[in-house]
């Protein structure tokens, strides 16, 4: 086994994996914006009030690294996953994990106004529509949309939204919507001017909340509630109107018998020691969870087997050497060559001449016989190369030795 070759291969594998991890971390950091919406933030844009408002029958926690950890939940039907204002999109593995969590009875409460949540909410046929929702019913400023007279089994009251968007759904049902005078600014110019285009700025009621399965008694699959305005739960807005009552009502509706509430902090920037834990462990955890674990293990085993096979079996001998070894000293004593061997030896000799002069196959095939003769510079070998046969009186042994020892002059 070639030890130096082994070290080079494993060093190359290590460098590739290291570059992959560093690139993944850089990309993950670049995908986050300046909006906080973290339960660690006690300022106006944080979610600390929503986080601390829960208690009693509910055990509250947060996940810093990856929601893929929800696969370890022993009782998903009594677990609620909350993601509010994610600062990045969910990865395919995370979406797959949360979908499995839902199908095992897990509950999800999702709120977003950017569309980043669509990779996840789309699994449940709910899509956030980009563009700010405006309504003639607002409070103090057009950004603060007011939703009056909400009368649901789970909640009664009114809401004050802060620059909300809207959503559409193809299954489940809408539970909260704006007035008929509302419209969505799809092109972002603040003017209702695309009344007939496919962007759809014409006035009309728009849904801002939908639910996939309104039956909380279902145990075969969970429930998912999606809202198109995460800001109603942030510290500056949750105490306005009946926003706090809506949040608590949704939690009670999704977990009627109490249970575990998990806030997803993996989609928010976190500072201090929690931030170090988040950035240091999120990628390794992602690599060892569910589908990615199978991919990583399978790739590692494949690389190991190929590397082992390469080290145990030396590279194939070059065509020049392998053929000339067959026509070496042993066969000079008793050549035993057939017509096919002589033809093969001619091809090998011509290829040796081409390589010696550093020519491509195309350039070499364009040579004239005179040019080839001057390159070979040996009349006997030239005649053999041109005719592909042995002239009368030419000793076969001389041809074999000549081909084996020929070198560029």
Provide the pLDDT for residue 232: 95
Tokens of 39: 């339960």
Q: Quote the pTM value.
A: 0.62
* Nearest residue to 80 (alpha-carbon basis) of 263, 341, 287: 263
**Domains in the chain, please, with CATH?**
31-270 (3.40.50), 319-405 (no CATH)
> How many other C-beta atoms are found inside a 10 Å radius of the C-beta of residue 116?
20
Please, is 311 exposed, middle or buried when counting C-beta atoms within 10 Å of its C-beta (0-12, 13-18, 19+)?
middle
Provide the pLDDT for residue 318: 43
Whether 23 has a pLDDT exceeding 60, the answer reads no
Q: How far apart are CA 126 and CA 15, in angstroms?
A: 41
Report pLDDT digits (tens) over 348-374. Answer: 888 888 988 988 888 888 888 888 888
Q: How far apart are CA 365 and CA 354, in angstroms?
A: 9
Report pLDDT digits (tens) over 199-213. Answer: 568 889 999 999 996
Phi then psi dihedrals of residue 31, to 5 deg: -80, -10
Those residues with Cβ within 8 angstroms of residue 24's Cβ, 6 or more apart along the chain or in another chain: 283
Q: How far apart are CA 196 and CA 401, in angstroms?
A: 87
Phi then psi dihedrals of residue 223, to 5 deg: -120, 150
For residues 168 and 55, the model is more confident at 168
Provide the pLDDT for residue 215: 54
Mean pLDDT score of the chain, rounded to an integer? 78
For residues 4 and 249, the model is more confident at 249
* Sign of the CA dihedral with 257 first, then 172, 69, and 44 last: negative
User: 166: which strand partners?
Assistant: 129
Those residues with Cβ within 8 angstroms of residue 328's Cβ, 6 or more apart along the chain or in another chain: 400, 404
Q: How large a percentage of the chain has pLDDT more than 90?
A: 36
Whether 279 has a pLDDT exceeding 80, the answer reads no
Bridging pattern class, strands 166-169 and 126-129: antiparallel
For residues 97 and 228, the model is more confident at 228
* Nearest residue to 191 (alpha-carbon basis) of 180, 203, 179: 203
| Residue 180 three-state SS | coil
Whether 30 has a pLDDT exceeding 50, the answer reads no
For residues 329 and 17, the model is more confident at 17
Report pLDDT digits (tens) over 178-236. Answer: 999 999 998 888 888 776 655 568 889 999 999 996 555 555 678 999 999 999 999 99
Q: How far apart are CA 156 and CA 109, in angstroms?
A: 19
Confidence at 328, pLDDT banded by 50, 70, 90: very low
Whether 58 has a pLDDT exceeding 80, the answer reads yes
Across the range 127-142, mean pLDDT stands at 93
Radius of gyration (Cα) for the chain, nearest Å?
A: 36
- Residue whose token pair is 């494993």: 10
Please, is 405 exposed, middle or buried when counting C-beta atoms within 10 Å of its C-beta (0-12, 13-18, 19+)?
exposed
């Amino acid at each position: 086994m070639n030890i130096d070759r082994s070290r080079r291969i494993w060093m190359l594998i290590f460098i590739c994996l290291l570059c992959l991890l560093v690139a993944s971390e850089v990309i993950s950091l670049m995908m986050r914006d300046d909006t906080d919406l973290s339960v660690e933030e006690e300022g106006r844009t944080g979610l600390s009030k929503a986080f601390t408002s829960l208690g009693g029958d509910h055990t509250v926690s947060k996940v810093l690294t990856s929601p893929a950890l929800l696969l370890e939940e022993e009782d998903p039907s009594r677990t609620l996953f909350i993601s509010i204002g994610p600062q990045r999109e969910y990865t395919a593995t995370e979406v797959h994990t949360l979908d499995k969590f839902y199908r095992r009875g897990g509950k999800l409460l999702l709120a977003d106004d950017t569309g980043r949540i669509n990779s996840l909410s789309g699994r449940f046929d709910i899509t956030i529509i980009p563009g700010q929702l405006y309504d003639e019913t607002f409070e103090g400023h057009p950004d603060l949309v007011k939703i009056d007279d909400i009368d649901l089994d789970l909640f009664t009251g009114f809401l004050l939204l802060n620059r909300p968007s809207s959503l559409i759904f193809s299954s489940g049902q809408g539970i909260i919507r704006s007035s008929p005078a509302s419209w969505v600014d799809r092109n972002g110019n603040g003017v209702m001017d695309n009344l007939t285009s496919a962007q759809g700025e014409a006035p009309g009621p728009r849904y801002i909340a939908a639910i996939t399965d309104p039956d909380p008694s279902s145990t075969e699959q969970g429930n998912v509630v999606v809202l198109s305005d995460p800001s109603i739960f942030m510290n500056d807005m949750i105490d306005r109107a009946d926003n706090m009552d809506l949040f608590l009502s949704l939690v009670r509706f999704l977990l009627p018998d109490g249970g575990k509430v998990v806030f997803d902090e993996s989609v928010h920037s976190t500072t201090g020691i929690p931030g170090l834990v988040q950035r240091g462990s999120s990628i390794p955890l992602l690599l060892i969870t569910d589908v990615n674990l199978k991919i990583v293990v399978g790739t590692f085993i494949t690389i190991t087997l190929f590397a082992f096979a390469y080290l145990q079996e030396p590279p194939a001998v070059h065509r020049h050497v392998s053929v000339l070894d067959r026509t070496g000293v042993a066969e000079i004593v008793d050549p035993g060559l057939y017509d096919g061997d002589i033809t093969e030896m001619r091809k090998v000799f011509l290829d040796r001449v081409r390589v010696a002069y550093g020519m491509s196959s195309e350039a070499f095939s364009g040579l004239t016989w005179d040019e080839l003769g001057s390159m070979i510079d040996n009349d006997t070998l030239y005649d053999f190369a041109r005719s592909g046969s042995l002239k009368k009186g030419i000793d076969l042994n001389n041809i074999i030795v000549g081909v084996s020892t020929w070198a560029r002059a």
